Structure 1
Amino acid sequence: MTPSKWIDISQPLTNDMANFPGDTPFSYSLTYTKEETGSVNIGQMTTSLHMGTHVDAPFHYDSNGKTLDKLDLDLYIGKAKVIDVSDVDTITKDTLESFNLDNVTRVLIRTSLPNNPKHFPDKMPELDPTIAAHLHEKGVQLIGVDIPSVDSADSKELETHHALYKHGIFILENLMLDHVKSGNYELIALPLAIKGADGCPVRAVIRPID
């Protein structure tokens, strides 16, 4: 039996993609062309570490938290469950209780926000901090969302970030899930080994499993 193909659920990094308000936009350009070097093209990029599909290291919102290079890679490889909560604008504990998350380590949440990497949303679906205790009780260690942040863009308290952190749940943001059906998948979303970093873009892919 031929294995299912991998599905890309990451945002392409492009020079016209939207960035978090006030953050460093993504930019790619050639530093040297093949004509200039005589042998190769050499590119460079400038970017916030929270552009596109990315992971948050705890150091992002806790100065004493783990940096990117200290994270357990097993978090970002393995079985994941995609659930669709696009019928609500606020995701609460009650919302998640309607799904069977028993023995689910990684949950990827499709919200009501359409995927549009070139536009930063004026308003995002909200994740109530109470989901953290519920997810922890089910054994979830990684939450992925198809929105730029698990908290509102203007939040200073970052209550959902901290609630998830308190319950040992790590964060993957800005997934592309509009073309993905609910169900069980294999996930690969490895962060780069950037020493001391607060996060970084990832290439997130999934493959259906029985």
Structure 2
Amino acid sequence: MSTPTRLWDISPPVHEGAPVFPGDTPYQQRWAATISPGCPVNVSDIRMSPHVGAHADAPLHYDPTGAAIGAVDLTPFLGPCRVIHAIGCGPLVEWAHIAHAVDALPARVLVRTYERAPIDRWDGALAAYAPATIERLAALGVRLVGIDTASIDPADSKTLDSHQVIRRLDLRVLENLVLDDVPEGDYELIALPLKLTTADASPVRAVLRAL
């Protein structure tokens, strides 16, 4: 009997009270129908920002003429990836923080910055990518970058320099991952966005599978 392939669930829990970027719509749920003598099912009504929890940004998020998430190619969100640890790196993930693990990179890179991700609170001091780091990753063939914080840019940024690098180079991004229990190394990433035809982002159920 073969051993089952190990999966790492790298998505934070989504529920009322889950942290959101200040100003975003938090997760809210009510019951539109409940099981009763006259109703055979429970049906919920959910309202939330598509940036709650693990999510994929669409070009539309940072480019007024960019594609909605339902129109982007799914290829970057599925395939070999590398998890690189830059725990406690400070406000920006600089090249020096990840240079130890960039040989023969796959097309997807996820960076862990937290020892334990703050899944129960907003962290305004989150670590983000330095724009130059994304530039250098792209030059090595990376097509998707991910991070275990709420944004690839600092929380107070108004210029979104790293998002603009993503726009210019046509890369894809995953944010709000939970990499606490994932050893540094190579995996298969599965993090498909929903086919939301007019949305600026989509929740994903991001998992890693052992190669």
Q: Where does residue 159 of structure 1 map in the other structure?
A: 161
Per mean C-alpha deviation after superposition, the further-off stretch among 36-45 and 154-163 is 36-45
Per the alignment, residue 2 of structure 1 pairs with 3
Structure 1 unpaired stretches of 5+: none
Instruction: Give the corresponding residue for 1:66.
Output: 67
Do the aligned residues in 2 keep the contact of 1:50 with 1:199 (CA within 8 Å)? yes
Cα distance change, pair 119–67 in 1 and its aligned pair in 2 (3 A): same
Residue in 1 that maps onto 2:87: 86
In structure 2, do the counterparts of structure 1 residues 37 and 188 end up closer, same or farther at CA, with 3 Å as the change threshold? farther
Counterpart residue identity of residue 152, structure 1: P
Whichever residue aligns with residue 32 of structure 2, its letter is T
Residue 87 of structure 1 and its aligned partner are, at CA, apart by 4.2
Moved more, 17-26 or 160-169: 160-169
Alignment of 1:108-119 (within 5 A): 108-112=110-114, 114-119=116-121
Q: Give the letter for the 2:176 counterpart.
A: N
1:45 aligned partner: 46
Deviation at 1:122, TM superposition (A): 2.9
Q: 1:2 deviation in Å?
A: 2.1
- Give the superposition deviation at 1:199: 0.3
Displacement of 1:95:
2.6
| Counterpart contact for 1:113–1:146, Cα < 8 Å | no
Aligned partner of 1:191 in structure 2 is 193
TM superposition shift of 1:34: 0.8
Q: Distance in 1 between matches of 2:43 and 2:102?
A: 48
Partner of 2:56: 55
2:20 alignment counterpart:
19
Could you say which residue in structure 2 is the equivalent of 1:105? Answer: 107
- Selected match of 1:177 from 179, 186, 192: 179
Distance across 2 between alignment mates of 1:27 and 1:161: 28
TM-score of the aligned structures, taking structure 1 as reference length = 0.94
- What percent identity do the matched residue pairs reach? 36
Compute the displacement of 1:36 (Å): 6.3
Q: Is the 8 A contact 1:132 1:169 kept in 2?
A: no
Q: CA deviation at 1:93?
A: 2.4
What is the CA distance between 1:123 and its match in structure 2?
A: 0.6
Deviation string, structure 1 residues 37-63 (Cα, Å, up to 9, x no partner): 421111110000110100000100101
Q: With structure 2 as the length reference, what TM-score do the two structures score?
A: 0.94
- Once the two structures are superposed, residues 136-174 of structure 1 have per-residue CA deviations (whole angstroms, 9 ceiling, x without a partner) of 111000011000000112211100111122222211000
Runs of 4+ in 1 over 6 A off after TM superposition: none
Deviation for aligned residue 1:18: 1.1
- Per the TM alignment, residue 29 of structure 1 is displaced from its structure 2 partner at its CA by 2.2
| Residue 36 to residue 189, structure 1, CA distance change in 2 (3 Å) | farther
> 2:136 aligns to what SS in structure 1?
helix
Partner residue, 2:203: 201
Equivalent position of 1:139 in the other structure = 141
Tell me the secondary structure at the aligned position of residue 98 of structure 1: helix
Q: Provide the secondary structure at the position in 2 that maps to 1:49.
A: coil
Partners of 2:182 and 2:6 lie apart in 1 by: 13
CA distance in 1, matches of 2:178, 2:88: 17
Correspondent of 1:150 among 149, 152, 173: 152
Residues 101 and 168 of structure 1, relative CA distance in 2, 3 Å threshold: farther
> CA offsets, 1:53-87, max 9 Å, x none?
00000100101111111111111111111110114
Gaps of at least 5 residues in structure 2 are none
